[in-house]
Amino acid sequence: MPKGLSDTAALPDAPARPLPGFHGAVSDFKRRLIEATLTQAGGNRTRAARALGLQRTYLLRLIREFEIRVPPAAMAPRRGDPAQVAGHALGAAPTQTR
């Protein structure tokens, strides 16, 4: 050990929360990008994954890893959905064009 220094040399007070550094900054960027994309996709994870160029399963893993809370996606009616067909039977006649 150099002269004048000891093992118990006074170190400056560390902040309560350490600075994130490179990897922390990258993780923070990923988290914010995923959150923004999910918001833009209305909570639809498949559309968000497609927009990010990721596999859906990898996006799901990142969501779990970063503990991102995602609101449930609004369900769009599907083609052939019985509820949609029932709506037509209740007086809402389908429109036909010729």
Domain spans of the chain, in order of start? 22-73
Query: Is the per-residue pLDDT at 3 higher than 80?
Result: no
Which numeric CATH code is attached to 22-73?
A: 1.10.10.60
Quote the DSSP letter at residue 80.
Answer: T
- Backbone phi and psi for residue 41, each to the nearest 5 degrees, phi listed first: -85, 5
pLDDT at 1: 46
List pLDDT tens digits, range 13-62: 544 555 579 999 999 999 999 999 999 999 999 999 999 999 999 999 99
- Greater confidence (3 vs 44) lies with 44
